Amino acid sequence: MSKKILVVFGIILIIFFISTFGVQAYPLAQFPTVSIPTVTGTPSGIIITVRPSQNEDFINVRTGPNTLFPSVGVLLVGQTAPALGRSPGGEWILIEYPGVAGGKGWVYSVLVSLSPGELPIVEPPPTVTPQFTATIDPTLAAQFIVTQQPTRLPTYTEPAPLVIPTYVERIPNQLPGGIPMGMVIVVLGVTGILLTLFSFIRVK
For the stretch 89-148, pLDDT in tens is 899 999 999 988 889 999 999 999 999 989 999 988 887 665 555 566 667 766 777 777
Dihedrals phi, psi of 170, to nearest 5 degrees:
-105, 140
60 and 53 in contact (C-beta within 8 Å)? Answer: no
Angstrom distance (rounded) from CA 172 to CA 175: 9
Residue range 149-174: mean pLDDT, rounded: 71
Q: What is the CATH number of the domain that holds 104?
A: 2.30.30.40
Residue 77 domain-assigned? Answer: yes
71, part of any domain? yes
Q: How many domains does the chain have?
A: 1
The count of other CB atoms within 10 Å of the CB of residue 189 is 10
Would you say residue 171 lies in a domain? no
Whether 37 shows a pLDDT value over 90: the answer reads no
Q: What is the pLDDT of residue 21?
A: 60
**Is 90 inside any structural domain?**
yes
Host H or E run for residue 9: helix 2-21
Quick one: which of 7, 3, 1, 107 has its CA closest to 64? Answer: 107
Task: Give percent above pLDDT 70 in the chain.
Answer: 65
- The predicted structure's pLDDT at residue 36: 47
Which residue range forms the structural domain that includes residue 59? 47-114
Burial class of 122 by CB neighbour count within 10 A (0 to 12, 13 to 18, 19+):
middle
Give the separation between CA 184 and CA 12, rounded to whole angstroms.
Answer: 175
What is the reported pLDDT for 14?
77
What is the pLDDT at residue 69?
93
Residue 53 lies in a domain: yes
Residues in a beta bridge with 80: 49
Asked if residue 139 is part of any domain, the answer here is no
161: in domain: no
Task: Return d(Cα 2, Cα 177) in angstroms, integer.
Answer: 176
Phi-psi region of 193 (alpha: psi -120 to 50; beta: other; left: phi over 0): alpha
pLDDT cut 90: percent of the chain above it? 30
In a domain, 149, yes or no: no
* pLDDT greater at residue 48 or residue 176: 48
Segment 60-92, tens digit of pLDDT: 999 999 999 999 999 999 999 999 999 998 999
